[in-house]
């Protein structure tokens, strides 16, 4: 794009003369102002263009706008040190990793493209009725979970899962999902297979999902759990955050306590919290199950 060419050309008298200005001649401050309008992946690609773009791609003024408004609080809680020790691009990079906290039961990260805060709560970070009785529940290892294990329900009369988390979410609207699958997946001769031996009882009554926030927001919905063999995100509800310097406490639940029948064969991976606009991503990929409000 001009930067790879020689900065001079030979004129008619055989004398060297300056060529037309190229991208490499742009001041770093000018380049930083331009790439500041791009999303992070595009900025990183342009950094390979030439020295001016590479230098500008590290400018704090470029990455300040990409970070959440309360990134100082996030860095202290997630990374455990003062953000002044790193440049803004380094902070963004570290926050984009799946950072573990709360005893390894929770992970939080920034979406690389949008900078939106995402969170996942493992099955071990939830309160599951009967989880200590191996006749009903088991924690089994799997590479299909970002936590390396899931909770597997063989059979129960009473399904009750509760969880809570307190976190300084940046201002915005967020959606909460349970990541569930009917049937137990495994690998056989290098291929994924799903054992539906214990799957039963889910088509009789819907599962009820609830969400509460510390500032009084509440939603209740229900959905029939179906389609064995695939992981789906079951939408619990949405919540809004308006203040950037305070924490939001969430409480959530999943229940099916109709004791007229047993149900089993359910895999519970995690609860995830995404910016609400991510619902379209999940829907486009076919991973979304929308519960009906009650």
Query: pLDDT at position 9, please?
Result: 34
Least confident of 45-49, 213-217, 223-227: 45-49
Flag whether pLDDT at 79 surpasses 50. yes
pLDDT of residue 200 exceeding 70: yes
Tell whether the model's pLDDT for residue 290 goes beyond 50: yes
Please provide the average confidence, as pLDDT, over all residues in the chain: 87
Dist CA 284 CA 193 (whole Å): 24
Q: Which two tokens stand for residue 262?
A: 């047993």
CA 188 from centre of chain:
30
C-beta separation of 236 from 211 below 8 A: yes
* Superfamily in which the 100-293 domain is placed by CATH: Galactose-binding domain-like (2.60.120.260)
pLDDT in tens, 226-267: 999 999 999 999 999 998 888 999 999 999 998 899 999 999
Confidence at 3, pLDDT banded by 50, 70, 90:
very low
Can you name the residues that pair with 101 across neighbouring β-strands? 106
CA 61 to chain centre: 25
Q: How confident is the model at residue 24 (pLDDT cuts 50, 70, 90)?
A: low
Q: Domain boundaries in the chain?
A: 20-64, 100-293
Q: How confident is the model at residue 70 (pLDDT cuts 50, 70, 90)?
A: very high
List of E strands, 148-247: 149-153, 159-167, 172-182, 184-188, 191-195, 207-213, 218-223, 232-241
Q: What percent of the chain has pLDDT over 70?
A: 88
3-class SS of residue 170: coil
Q: Is the pLDDT of residue 10 over 60?
A: no
Report pTM.
0.85
Rounded to an integer, what distance in angstroms lies between the CA atom of residue 236 and that of residue 289?
A: 10
| Lookup result for tokens 């059979």 | 155
* Band of residue 174 on the pLDDT scale cut at 50, 70, 90: very high
pLDDT value at residue 63: 86
94-121 tens-digit pLDDT: 999 999 999 999 999 999 999 999 999 9
Which residue, chain included where needed, has tokens 């969430």?
250
């Amino acid at each position: 794009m001009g930067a790879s060419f020689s900065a001079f050309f030979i004129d008619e008298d055989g004398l060297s003369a300056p060529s037309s200005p190229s991208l490499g001649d742009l001041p770093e401050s000018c380049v930083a102002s331009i790439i500041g309008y791009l999303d992070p992946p595009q900025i990183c690609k342009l950094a390979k263009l030439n020295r001016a773009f590479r230098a500008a791609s590290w400018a704090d003024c470029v990455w300040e706008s990409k970070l959440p408004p309360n990134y100082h609080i996030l860095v202290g809680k997630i990374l455990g040190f003062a953000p002044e020790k790193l440049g803004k691009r380094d902070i963004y990079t570290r926050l984009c990793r799946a950072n573990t906290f709360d005893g390894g039961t929770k992970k939080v990260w920034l979406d690389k493209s949008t900078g939106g805060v995402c969170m996942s709560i493992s099955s071990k970070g939830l309160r599951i009725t009967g989880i200590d009785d191996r006749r009903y529940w088991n924690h089994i290892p799997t590479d299909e979970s970002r936590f390396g294990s899931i909770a597997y329900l063989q059979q129960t009369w009473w399904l009750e899962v509760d969880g809570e988390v307190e976190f300084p979410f940046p201002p915005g609207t967020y959606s909460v999902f349970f990541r569930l699958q009917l049937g137990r997946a495994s690998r056989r001769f290098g291929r994924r297979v799903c054992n539906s031996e214990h799957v039963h009882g889910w088509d009789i009554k819907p599962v009820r999902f609830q969400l509460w926030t510390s500032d009084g927001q509440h939603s209740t919905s229900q959905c029939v759990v179906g389609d064995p063999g695939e992981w789906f995100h079951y939408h619990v509800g949405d919540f809004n955050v308006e203040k950037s310097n305070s924490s939001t406490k969430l409480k959530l639940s999943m229940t099916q306590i109709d004791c007229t029948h047993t149900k089993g064969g359910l895999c519970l991976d995690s609860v995830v919290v995404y910016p609400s606009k991510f619902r379209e991503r999940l829907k486009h990929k076919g991973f979304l199950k929308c519960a009906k409000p009650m």
